[in-house]
A and B are shown apart, each in its own frame.
Chain A
Amino acid sequence: MITGEILQKQFVTAHFIDNERTTIEVLTRESADSNNQISTIIEYDTNHPWCQELLKVCDLDTLHENTWNKIQSDRNAFEQSVLRIAKEQGLVYDTNKTETKFHSAMMDFLFNYKETEEKEDLFVFKLASFELDVVKNCKNKEQKAAIRKAQSPLEVVKAISEIK
């Protein structure tokens, strides 16, 4: 239920829930000192008493802004869940966490390089190596050429290590 009194004391937020911007979800606390939230769906109808009361505490601009923020928040949450699933399935690697499969995959790439299947990966690996400061700052053309001409990831690493 929405009344002016409830909105004054217990209003949390409100946002549109449809693309047409005709329907609003209003969140209020169950009571002034409660953390439980109650969802109420109302029409954006400025002739309706509930909508009139809502607009006193949350004007149309704020409704649109809240809606944008909610969509962004939902999208971020979805992307995070997709990323989590992808990591669980080993489809993407988190390089910052030791428990991921990144390191074993990298070792496999270095020591079990399959030329026919991983040629493109080797190319990307070389490109990444040229982003390293040690390579960027290297003035020795022969040493850089060694990276470009490497036939395996291990040869790339070896060429970089020789710059140092």
Chain B
Amino acid sequence: MAVRTPLYNNSGNLQEMTSGMIDELIDQVVFQYSTNPSVALEVVGSGGSLGTIADTRLQAGTVSTSSSSFPNEATTQEPQEVTTNFAKINEANASTSIVADTGRTFPVYQSSGDIYAMTLTDFRDTFIHPAINLLVSGSTGTQQGGTYHISTSASVAGSTEVSGSSTAVFIDTRADTSAYSAGTIGDHALDNPTTVTSFFLQRVNGSDTAYSQTPLFIRGDGDLQVYPEATWESLLLEHVRHVATSSTDGFKIVYSLSSGTTRGSGMTNTILNGSGNYQQRQVSSSDYRAQEFPDGVASTATTTFLRINKA
């Protein structure tokens, strides 16, 4: 690992950048990444590569009938668990490549008074890897621009809802106990779900923060020159995108539902925890009905987080 201190042109004099100046450049790496993330998550209808999250809820047991007396509770079916699977988050990595290092591609630094161009490794250690470290933090501010998090709100300040149409990536449902009544046994549906919470995939917006100094590079004629802004920012974008998808030294960005730093709200699957609300209905002298409705207090069965990691 070789973190270098880049030089800049201070009114005609070469000077080493301060740590504050370097941090500004690292923030610019993050912003460049946010403009075109190479590790992209998308909302799909089904089959998303991040895997499946199950929403479970109770539905009423089937109706028991008798022509002579009410079926007793021991014989009626318990409320049954209904499962809906969500596999709506898909990771789609861009195909990336970088231009080969000419030996003068990257910024210059000084060592014992001599000036050198950074190597690819120096460049990544100085600018790209610190930016990746910011990107994979648990926070969701502008220094995580272009990365993703989960929210219970479709609209989040500083983020963009990924589906563009407020399509939830997970919906927590529970039985609507008010939909069941003894007087409608046999008439009401077994499954009466109500939506408790919807969860949305959000992408953090970047912020184009100004950087006070731009590094220098060695031209073909051996002179030093300040990078043109577009050239410098293009270099940052090309490399941060490539490292995020293809790093071989632990700086790939990876999303998962099982390991890594949590990103945004956990997605809770809640379910009523009762053992059944036994009810009877006599429709006629030869039609006795009984059924067990969902009941109980809502409890959290599982919580799934979107997670970000380096690999």
Per-residue CB contact flags for chain B residues 284-310 toward chain A (1 = under 8 Å, else 0) read 000000000001111010010100000
A125 within 8 A of B: no
Given contacts A1-B158, A75-B297, contact A89 B151 (CB under 8 A): no
The answer to whether B149 touches A1 (Cβ under 8 A) is yes
Q: From B7-15, B208-216, B260-268, give the one contacting chain A.
A: B260-268
Interface pair B152/A38, CB less than 8 Å apart: yes
Encode contact with A along B72-107: 1 for CB under 8 Å, 0 otherwise. Answer: 000000000000000000000000000000000000
Contacts A3-B141, A17-B268, A30-B153; A45 near B262 (Cβ below 8 A): yes
Among B151, B182, B197, B303, contact of A1 (Cβ-Cβ < 8 Å):
B151
Point out the residues of chain B lying under 8 angstroms from A18, CB to CB.
Answer: 300, 303
Q: Which one of A23, A30, A40, A48 contacts B261 once the chains associate, using CB atoms below 8 Å?
A: A48
In the complex, the answer to whether B137 meets A49 with C-beta atoms within 8 Å is yes
Q: Within the complex, which residue of B279, B298, B303 is in contact with A89, where a contact is CB–CB below 8 Å?
A: B279
Q: Please state if A23 and B266 are interface contacts (CB–CB under 8 Å).
A: yes
A78 within 8 A of B: yes
Can you list, as one digit per residue, whether each of A1-23 has a CB less than 8 Å from chain B (1) or not (0)? Answer: 10100000000000001100001
Instruction: Tell me the residues in window 39-67 of chain A with beta carbons closer than 8 Å to chain B beta carbons.
Output: 39-43, 45, 48-50
Q: Kindly state whether residue A117 has any CB partner on chain B within 8 Å.
A: no
Closest to A41 in B: B266
B177 at the interface (CB under 8 A from A): yes
Partner of B182, one of A39, A41, A42, A89: A89
**B110–chain A nearest beta-carbon distance, Å:** 36
Contact (Cβ within 8 A) A42 B262: yes
In the assembled complex, the Cα of A50 lies from the Cα of B182 at a distance in Å of 46
Q: Which A residues touch B138, using CB under 8 A?
A: 48-50
The answer for the CA separation of A50 and B263 in the assembled complex, in Å, is 10
* B140 lies within 8 A of chain A by Cβ: yes
Q: A23-B300, A38-B153 are in contact. Are A81 and B177 (CB under 8 A)?
A: yes
For the residues of A in contact with B, the DSSP-based class is mixed
Beta-carbon nearest neighbor of B177 in chain A:
A81
Instruction: Count how many chain A residues have C-beta atoms less than 8 Å from C-beta atoms of the other chain.
Output: 25
- The verdict on B59 contacting chain A, using a C-beta distance below 8 Å, is no
> Would you call A85 an interface residue if the criterion is a C-beta within 8 Å of the partner chain's C-beta atoms?
yes
Docked-complex contact B303 and A50, CB < 8 angstroms: no
Q: Is the CB of A1 within 8 A of B159?
A: yes
A45 to B305, CA, bound (A): 13
In the assembled complex, the Cα of A30 lies from the Cα of B149 at a distance in Å of: 17
A39: nearest residue on chain B (CB-CB)? Answer: B152
Residues 188 to 222 of chain B near chain A (Cβ within 8 Å): 197
Max count, chain A CB within 10 A of own CB: residue among B151, B156, B262: B262
Which residues of B, 269-287, contact A by the 8 Å Cβ criterion? Answer: 277, 279
**A74 close to chain B: CB less than 8 A:** yes
Assembled-state Cα–Cα distance A23/B303 (Å): 8
A3, A40, A78, A81: the one within 8 Å of B152 (CB): A40
Instruction: Please determine whether B265 and A41 come into contact, CB atoms closer than 8 angstroms.
Output: yes
Known pairs A38-B152, A42-B265, A50-B262; list 20 more (Cβ under 8 Å).
A1-B149, A1-B151, A17-B268, A17-B303, A18-B300, A23-B266, A23-B300, A30-B153, A39-B265, A40-B264, A41-B266, A41-B268, A41-B303, A42-B262, A42-B266, A74-B298, A75-B297, A78-B297, A85-B277, A89-B279
- Please list the residues of chain A having a beta carbon within 8 angstroms of any beta carbon in chain B: 1, 3, 17-18, 23, 25, 30, 38-43, 45, 48-50, 74-75, 77-78, 81-82, 85, 89
10 pairs of residues in contact across A and B, judged by CB atoms under 8 Å: A1-B149, A23-B268, A23-B300, A38-B152, A41-B303, A43-B262, A43-B266, A45-B262, A82-B295, A85-B277
Q: Which B residues have a C-beta under 8 Å from some C-beta of A? A: 137-141, 149, 151-153, 156-159, 177, 182, 197, 261-262, 264-268, 277, 279, 295-298, 300, 303, 305
Closest 3 CB pairs of A and B: A41-B266, A40-B265, A48-B138
